[in-house]
Amino acid sequence: MALTLVIANKAYSSWSFRPYILMRHFGIPFAEVVIPLAQETTKAEILRYGPSGKCPVLDDDGLIIWDSLAIIEYLAETFPDLAIWPRDKVARATARSLAAEMHSGFMGVRAHLPMNMRRPVRARDLTPEAAADVARIEQAWAEAWGRFGEPGGFLFGAFSAADAMFAPVVSRFHTYDVPVTRESRAYMDMIMALPAWRDWQAGAEAEGWRVEKWEQV
């Protein structure tokens, strides 16, 4: 097995961040291809690897899997000895529900607080839509801790795909200095201390590509 993960800029690509942090955390070896966003050749370059023209893409010896959540599910099937999803059936179902909600929702946060791992930490006033998303995310985290983990800890006791799916939210909340509960802040600090996070952060800071519309927010 030879896995290649095709990702976009580490500074900006929330979708790419999810499978990356999961694979690094669980020690799944892979080669890495980075394609910069917002270039004339971006879509054509990505189409060399996957049919959607979007990152991330996972290539497993010619088997192509695209979309972050599909990649995570494929990895969970391919590496069943790793607790990528919680082992308990109820916890696993809840974790998948939260991951799917993250995958398809929270457009207020996505639009108003774009991910930029190089952005200096400074507050931005929230729109009503973004504020509602923040409230729901914190509610979801608190409910997971209440049933399956500990306040401020990983959502389901140990790091899982659910935490990987929310990693870009952690970045956004930190970068834009979003007011959160003490428990949420502890969770964010713990995620940001992971070696896999630090690897990604170092890569983002080393990139020379800039997309001005995201740098000016």
Q: How high is the pLDDT of residue 209?
A: 81
Q: How high is the pLDDT of residue 115?
A: 95
Q: CATH number for the domain including 27?
A: 3.40.30.10
Q: How high is the pLDDT of residue 211?
A: 80
Q: Are strands 3-8 and 31-35 parallel, antiparallel or unpaired?
A: parallel
Q: Are residues 102 and 193 in the same domain?
A: yes
Q: How high is the pLDDT of residue 1?
A: 67
Low-confidence ranges of the chain (pLDDT < 50): none
Residue 74 makes CB contacts below 8 A (sequence gap 6+) with: 58, 60, 65
Q: Are residues 55 and 104 in the same domain?
A: no
Site of tokens 């890495």? 32
Q: Are residues 187 and 142 in the same domain?
A: yes
Give 16-50 as a DSSP string.
HHHHHHHHHHTT---EEEEE-SSSTTHHHHHHTT-
**Which has the closest alpha carbon to 4: 32, 34, 36?**
32
Burial environment of residue 152 by CB neighbours within 10 A (0 to 12, 13 to 18, 19 or more): middle
Q: How high is the pLDDT of residue 38?
A: 82
pTM of the model: 0.95
What is residue 51's three-state secondary structure?
Answer: coil
Q: How high is the pLDDT of residue 2?
A: 92
CA separation for the pair 123, 79 (Å, rounded): 40
9-18 pLDDT tens trace: 999 999 999 9
**Which has the closest alpha carbon to 8: 43, 39, 36?**
36
Print the domain residue range for 22: 3-81
Q: Are residues 127 and 68 in the same domain?
A: no
38-86 pLDDT tens trace: 888 888 998 999 999 899 999 999 999 999 999 999 999 999 999 999 9
What is residue 156's three-state secondary structure?
Answer: coil
